[in-house]
Chains A and B, each alone.
Chain A
C-alpha cells in the first residue's frame, strides 16, 4: 500500500510542477521547474510517515550528491542541444549515464566515508 501512495503522491507532485513550468515564460525561467524537488518532496514525506525524520535526513544528505549529478547532466544536455545536431530524446536519454556515473561515484564515496 505504501508503494501505491508513493506512486500517486510522486505522480501528482511531478505533474503539478511540470504544469507550472508549461505555464511560465520565458523558457529559461520555466526550466527552473524542470529541477523542482518534486520526487524529493513526495519521497521524504513518505519516509517521514512510514519511518522517521532521521532516515529522511540521511536521504536528503545523499540528495545533495545526486544534485551534483543532476547539474552535470542538464549542463551537458544544454550544450549538446544548443548545437542543434542531435534530437532531444537521444541527448536527454544518453546523458543519463552522466547522472548514473556521478551517482555511483557518490555512493562509493558515501559508503567509504562511513557517514
Chain B
C-alpha cells in the first residue's frame, strides 16, 4: 500500500479532539519538566518517552472507525479496535526511532549545540522510522 495524505481525515476531526491533544501534550511536557526539576534530569528524562497522547489517539481512532461503520449499518466496535491495533503496530516501529532520537541527542547536544543537536536527532528519528517501515513491508 502506498503512503498518502488523506485530507478528508481533517473533516472527521472535532475541535475537542484537537484541544484534548494540545492539553495532554502540554501537561506531559510540564510534568517532565517538574520531575526533572525535583528528581534531576536522570529521572526526568525517562518522561520524554512517556506515551503522552497514545491513549487519547487510540480511543478517538476506535470511536471514529466505529461511528463510520455504524453509519453504514454495521457493527463497528471490533473494527474500531482493529484500527487502533494497527496504529499501535506502527507505534512499535516508531518506538525504536524514539530510542534513536534519544541516542543521537545524548551524543550530539553537548558537541554541536541545541539547534543542530535537535535537527540531527529529528533526522535520526525520521530515518530509523522510515527504514523500519520499509523493512517491515519488504523483508
Hey, which bits of chain A sit against chain B, CB under 8 A?
A: 2-3, 6-15, 18-19, 21-49, 53-71, 73-75, 77-78, 81-82, 84, 86-89, 91-93, 96, 99, 103, 106-107, 110-111, 115
Contact = CB atoms under 8 A, between A and B. Distances in A.
A43 B102 CA distance: 12
> Which of B1, B18, B30, B47 counts the most chain A CB atoms within 10 A?
B30
B102 A99 contact: no
Interface string B63-98: 000000000000001101111111111111111111
- What DSSP secondary structure best describes chain A's contact surface? helix
B33 A2 contact: yes
Nearest to A48: B114
Interface residues of B, number: 84
A59 B45 contact: yes
B49 A67 contact: yes
Contact of B28 (A19, A37, A39, A55): A39
Contacts of B91: 31-32, 34-35, 70, 74, 78
Given A36-B94, A38-B52, A103-B46, A57 B110 contact: yes
Contacts of A70: 49-51, 91, 95, 98
Interface in B1-16: 1, 3-7, 9-10, 13
A21 B18 CA distance: 12
Contact of B94 (A18, A32, A91): A32
A93 B59 CA distance: 10
Contacts of B77: 87
18 contacts: A18-B21, A22-B13, A23-B5, A27-B61, A31-B88, A31-B89, A31-B91, A33-B90, A47-B36, A48-B114, A62-B41, A63-B45, A63-B101, A81-B82, A87-B81, A88-B59, A96-B51, A107-B46
